[in-house]
Structures are given as structure tokens and as C-alpha cells.
Structure 1
């Protein structure tokens, strides 16, 4: 009997425990197994690897865990959603369905990675490089306060307390540069190709990502998009029960 495997990918500064409230609202079923990898702890999944190598390592691990016999569902939040897109691109047949939460599909251009010809990419690279430096040298409390004060995170007060000892500052800095949006190619063609496998979720109060989702939906008619009421960018923490309901719908299609 086939099993449904859920692979839950956390965001930047995230940890596997971030998914606990979502997991608590999922059905208890012997045919459902949940994985929450930690790419700040697992060397093969760490930001020492670029997007392509990360995706190869991750998919290889998934195949070893599942022996290729089960139905795999890939769920990624924010940075985890961008990593998920690379895993989908590298081995789409491995994945039955995916749910991408507060995910950026990349700049809508033709560049494969960072290129100074793109002003958007140059600006993003400068921003991510600045933050990478801050994560190496600033006092932790000031750093976290400043990080959370960014406009994209507005409207959420439910981010877990982040404790310095739980992280490697060097790996956090690497995540910001190796996995910078400036280094990510435009994933819209992939989303178009795999739209039947992808569900897209954003928070109602996350204006930037709501606009991104609306544009994607207009360009890719078969893409399923959902807006979670009253949630910010941090849907994972603002509305874990609503998010679990979206995951349940995917599970029901596979059991």
C-alpha cells in the first residue's frame, strides 16, 4: 500500500520546529509520513551548496528515504519554496504534488543567475550581501529586530523567538548569498510546465506576494492559487490551521 510522504521545507532563519503547529492539525494516519529536514544542520543540504547541487542532494535523499515507491508531496515556505522549485525542476517525476507558500518565482527575466546587467538583480545582490555581513558581525538581538522590521514581514507578530545558539552565523550568511534571489533564475517557465502539480499560497496581508500570485495566475491559467485570510507573509505562523487544511486537500487526492 502506497504511503504519502510530506516533505516540509522551512524558510530562512527557520527550523523544523516551525512546522509543529501545522503538523498538529494534519490527520494522524499510518499512511502519512512527515519529514522536516534542517538545511542548517544537514551538510548535504546546507547553503555551502548552490541551488542545483542542493536540489540534486535533496532529491537523492528523498529517493533513499522513500525507495521510489511512495507518493511524495513537496511543501516549501518562503526560502523553502524557492528551494522546492529547484527540486521540482531537477526531478519532477519524483513529486506528485507541491504546495508553495509565500514563494518568489524569481525575477521575470532571462538571466540564469546573478548578472550585473540586471539592475533588479544587482540591487538584490547588494541587499543580500549587506544582510549576510550583518549576520556575521552584528549583535544578535539588534540583528533579529532589524531583520523582522523589514516591510515584507509587516503584520505578523507570531514569528518564533530565534536564539543565536541554534544557528551557525556563517551558514546564515551563506544562505543569503548562495540562495539569493539574485542567483535564482526565472522559474515561471517551470511553473507553467508543472502547473498541474503546483498549488500556490499567499497571505492576504502580504501585498507584494499577493500581487505576484495574481500575476502568475493571470499568466498560467491552470495554476491553483489561494489567499489565506488575515495572514501576513508568515502564513506558516499566522494561520497554521488554515495551511494544514490546504495540505489535507492534497493528501486526500493521493490516499
Structure 2
């Protein structure tokens, strides 16, 4: 059994190193995956039926396509999103265009300061990005942004028995979304006493994964 791990926007694959003492881990560099089109990215990944998929935030959204294509044994969504309804896409496009504009006009330090100051991360430690390629980061919005993501609600409902959705209870936006949109699909939802950046809570995440894998 292998754990396939996908980090978030401005994160890095080393954020999953804490799992390596307990599991066989393959952590993916999202910047390499997201340099081109979606289909090219997904074509480079292969997951066996007995494997486990773990995605955080951007990586959780990205990984939903893998849940649909490969049907792994377990799927962990850490602060993920199933996809927008059609009425919400235009509003999200405006937000993503604003992020793209910031990437184009700010230098690395300025953008990181801006990103860390977003209300979504007010309960988290600031991050610095080991990888910072503006063209790739812009493509992550243009090709893989939430506005471009299909809605995986039906897939989640069908595969609900193998999904664990984890949120930080201090992250009001995503925890309330989970209660409203994900729990009714029959998915097990876990709420930790933290903010959005769940990978800053390594021990808690490790225990959740260990407990669920032990039940297989």
C-alpha cells in the first residue's frame, strides 16, 4: 500500500515527510504536475486499488479526479472542495483573476506577504515557498483553479465510504462548507482545533491516517 500525497498552492512535497516513518509515501511536486494541461498532469499518475490518496487544499481538489479515475482504497481530503455550482463560477473567476494580477505585479516576497495575510490563513503560521515560478503559479489558477474544476459531488457520494474529509474548525469558511455540502453526502468529516493549514498539525493528521488505515 502506497500513500499518494498532493500538497497545496505555495506548499511543497516535503510537507508530507512526517508520514514516511509509518508509510510508503509518494509525494508529488504540484509545480511539476501543473506546468501544462490537466490531462498531461493526470496522465503521469498511476494509482492502484489498494493505495491511499491524500490531498491538501489545492492538492485535495486536484486529487478528486484521481478518486474518480482510480478509486483508491482510502481518500483523505484536507481542507478540500468538491467543486462549484454553475451560479458561483463567475464570482470565483473574478477572485482568481485578482490573484493572477497579484502574481504578475508583485515580487515573490510581496506576494507571499499578501497571500499569508488573507483572512483564510489568519489562524495559521505564515509560509514561505521553496518553489516560486510565476508562470506555473499563474497556470495553477488558469488551468486548475476552482472555477475550472468540475463538480465531483456525485463521485463523492458514490465513494463516500472510503472518504475522510478533514477541516480546521477555526477555518470557518471550509468547515461550514463541509457541514453544509459534504456531510450530507455520507462522508465522514473530522474537525481539528486549528485553521486552514492542516499540515501544520502533523501529529493530529498522522493519527487520523493511521487509525483509518488500521481499519482496512
2:128 alignment partner, one of 157, 161, 171: 161
> 1 or 2 for the larger relative contact order (CA 8 Å, sep ≥6)?
1
1:183 and 2:148 correspond: yes
Contact kept in structure 2, 1:55 and 1:90, CA below 8 Å: no
Number of the residue aligned with 1:40: 31
Number of the residue aligned with 1:143: 111
Give me the whole-angstrom Cα distance separating, in 1, the residues matched to 2:144 and 2:40: 11
> TM-score normalised to the size of structure 1?
0.78
Compared with structure 1, are the counterparts of its residues 218 and 134 closer, same or farther at alpha carbon in structure 2 (3 Å cutoff)?
closer
Number of the residue aligned with 1:245: 207
- How far did residue 218 of structure 1 move? 4.4
1:201 and 2:166 correspond: yes
- How far did residue 161 of structure 1 move? 2.2
- How far did residue 90 of structure 1 move? 2.0
CA displacement, residues 196-219 of structure 1 (integer Å, 9 cap, x when unaligned): 111100001000111111113542
Number of the residue aligned with 2:53: 74
* Other structure's SS at 1:54 match: helix
* Other structure's SS at 2:43 match: helix
1:234 and 2:197 correspond: yes
Number of the residue aligned with 1:115: none
* Other structure's SS at 1:7 match: strand
1:6 and 2:9 correspond: no
CA displacement, residues 220-254 of structure 1 (integer Å, 9 cap, x when unaligned): 2x31110012x1000111x1100110110122134
* Other structure's SS at 2:31 match: coil
Give me the whole-angstrom Cα distance separating, in 2, the residues matched to 1:47 and 1:170: 8
- How far did residue 106 of structure 1 move? 1.4
Q: What is the number of equivalent residue pairs in this alignment?
A: 216
Contact kept in structure 2, 1:55 and 1:83, CA below 8 Å: no
1:86 alignment partner, one of 43, 58, 65: 65
Structure number with larger C-alpha Rg: 1
Compared with structure 1, are the counterparts of its residues 178 and 149 closer, same or farther at alpha carbon in structure 2 (3 Å cutoff)?
same
Contact kept in structure 2, 1:77 and 1:102, CA below 8 Å: yes
Q: Name stretches of at least 5 consecutive residues in structure 1 with no aligned partner.
A: 63-67, 112-117
